[in-house]
Amino acid sequence: MQVPSHVEYERATSVEHALSLLGRPEHRVLAGGHSLIPMMKLRLAQPEVLVDINGLTELAFIAKDGGQLRIGALARHADLLDSAVAGECCPIFRDAERVVADPIVRLWGTIGGSLCQADPSEDLSAAFAAARATAVIRGQGGERAVPVREFHLGPYETVVGPGELLTEIRVPVAPGTGSAYEKVSRRVGDWSVAAAGAVLRLDGGKVAQAGIGLTAVGAESFVAAEAEEYLAGRPADEDSFARAGAIAARHCHPAADQRGPEDFKRHLVAELTARALRRAAARAEVR
């Protein structure tokens, strides 16, 4: 029987109230809890106080706002999967959410919680990195915006400090852009063996800007930067996508584990990156 250690429980009634309760490192945000509670049960996390933010429904939105998609930190995975507005402008998130955990976990787990958990195999971190999204973090002194590519400091560690709360993720949405996410996992609900997300902005058959996110393969900040640079200005064709995949595979740092050996994971990175780019390009042309 897995039992968390003793903990105090507070229920936040507003963002300001939550911030006032989060002043110390031992005070942890409790959102969906589907990462934190398992870690507490295994005693890998032993917070002194949990600050339950599930009542802050003002953070549960998903909305298109001019040139960006705004996703509240408390939006559930199922909300993002089912969102017509997100599916229309950013299909990468629908692709990714279809393979995040399982349908029941997706009903309760939150977008902000996934990002803040900062698991090195987490899917949305790669998708948001590919999309060059921005994280909005609120503290008692005000609000700051951090590119998602600078949000993670390392495994299970982010720039969100004591007394701060991730409130929103903002995704730029530009015309002529297509996106897609491709994942290989051993079974439903499992972490990726490897996964790749691509966001492509095309201009006259050429790549104006490429975003490529990788997860579970040790890519720095979940980004395949060398492959992105390679693609800039090149024709959006099979040859470019295959070469970009090969570059991404060469520059990531997968570790052999129970999900597979290193060479298999590099093979997946090459193939999944090329597939994601291909689908992203097809979607960009339709738009």
Partner 1 sequence: MRVTVTVNGAEYAREVEPRLLLIHFIRDELGLTGSHWGCDTSNCGACIVWLDGKPVKSCTLLAAMADGRALRTVEGLATSGRLDPVQQGFIECHGLQCGFCTPGMLMTARWLLDRNPDPDEAEIREAISGQICRCTGYENIVRSIRWAAEHSTGHPLETE
End-to-end CA distance of the chain: 52
Return the axis-axis angle of helices 262-286 and 238-251, rounded to nearest 10°. Answer: 140
Can residue 130 be called a binding residue for partner 1 (CB under 8 A)? no
Binding of partner 1 at residue 211 (CB under 8 A)? no
Measured CA to CA, the distance from residue 15 to residue 30 in angstroms comes to 13
How is residue 234 annotated by DSSP? S
The stretch near partner 1 (CB under 8 A) out of 29-37, 220-228, 247-255, 260-268 is 29-37
The nearest distance, CB 192 to partner 1, in angstroms, is 16
| Class of residue 129 by CB neighbours under 10 A (exposed 0-12, middle 13-18, buried 19+) | buried
With contacts defined by CB under 8 A, name the span among 105-113, 132-140, 143-151, 229-237 that binds partner 1: 105-113
Is residue 39 at the binding interface for partner 1, with CB under 8 A as the rule? no
Does 9 participate in binding partner 1 (rule CB under 8 A)? yes
User: By rule CB under 8 A, what count of residues binds partner 1?
Assistant: 29
- Tokens representing residue 185 in the block: 């996992």
Q: Which of 13, 14, 23, 38 binds partner 1 (CB under 8 A)?
A: 38
Considering only residues 15, 45, 54, 68, which one is a binding residue for partner 1 as defined by CB under 8 A? 54
The one-letter amino acid code at 35 reads S
Provide the minimum distance between the beta carbon of 28 and partner 1 in the complex, in angstroms, as a whole number: 13
CA 37, CA 44: separation in Å to the nearest integer? 10
> Helix-strand-coil percent breakdown of the chain, rounded to 5?
40, 30, 35
Q: Which residues contact partner 1 by CB under 8 A?
A: 1-9, 11, 30, 33-34, 37-38, 40-41, 50, 52, 54, 101-105, 107-108, 188-189
